[in-house]
Amino acid sequence: MSNIVNIAKNFTALGEGPHWDDTKQKLLFVDIDESKIHRFDYATSNFADPISLPDPTVGAVVPREKGGLVAAASHRYLSIDEESGQMQTLATVTENVKCRFNDGKCDPRGRFWAGTMGLETAPGIPLPKQGELFSLGTDLTVRRHLADIDISNGIAWTQDASRMFYIDTLEYNIRCFKYDVDTGAISEPKVVVTFDSEKHKKPDGHCIDTDGNLWVAMYGLGGILKVDTTKGEIVEKLKISDSALRTTSCCFGGPNLDELFVTSARYKQAELDKGVELGESGSLFKVTGLGVRGLPATPFKG
């Protein structure tokens, strides 16, 4: 029997990109709209002071193997010294002012993959086909892999690193690519599961467990769908909250990597003015008792 705990109620305007730092036993995640990086200490259940970025938005953050953090913010990758607060641009990926970085994470060799999306005209509705998918290599070179994306989102690799799963939200599916872990090249895309936009809402960030199943946060559903990628079937629905419908992403963490952390987006002031209840929107949740474990997340190795 699973158990859901609200760790931080109404905490983020647009929570995203949870990453479990296995070395420090801390959860990293971002608030895109407020351009902040949050750090949750598992042992103490305390949050460190947020790191505010000068960029208008931040889409993803990962620890750096040699120390500090690396974030995908607005249109650039930047390094962050947690002690001094010093920041340095590692690479700028595009000059397109109609887009911004969204979700991202590192592949098993420590390349930092992150994608962009068009600026939103309303929550979850971006300017069309403005996004691209990039990777930052360990030598700090940028490579573009995909273009004409609406909302670049969930990304994950199988345990043997032979396949990569990827979501462009408004395609309402998950694609699987053959992955060359030595070169970081993707090929042979294939749709493994398709979602019903009315029933399931919008696929957002996701993570993978040791059985190869994906746990997909569904924006608008207030829950997570477990997908068996070998059968291409939704095998479980995990309801997170009836009042935090904009579930955005998830990752496995905790000492045994068997706890699922889930981020969400808070309802906008304009919506609250129209009578929408704030509820648990924008909260950070933790789910235990799922009976599965996740794979360790890889830091950036550049």
What H or E segment, with its residue span, contains residue 154? strand 152-157
Question: Concatenated DSSP letters for 223-289?
Answer: EEEEEETTTTEEEEEEE--SS--BEEEEEEESTTS-EEEEEEBPPPHHHHHTT---TTTT-EEEEE-
- Reply yes or no on whether 211 is catalytic: no
Cβ neighbours for 45, distance < 8 A, ≥ 6 positions apart = 7
Backbone angles phi, psi at 271, to 5 degrees: -70, -40
Cα–Cα dist 112/235, whole Å: 30
Percent of the chain that is helix, strand, coil (3-state, to 5): 5, 55, 45
Which residue type is seen at 236? E
Q: Are strands 259-264 and 284-288 parallel, antiparallel or unpaired?
A: antiparallel
Q: Which of 21, 107, 168, 204 is catalytic?
A: 204
Closest by Cα among 118, 62, 51 to 90: 62
Residues 120, 11, 201, 279, CA torsion sign: negative
Is residue 214 within 8 A of residue 232, CB to CB? The reply is no
Is residue 163 within 8 A of residue 172, CB to CB? The reply is no
Is residue 295 within 8 A of residue 208, CB to CB? The reply is yes
Please list the active-site residues. Answer: 204
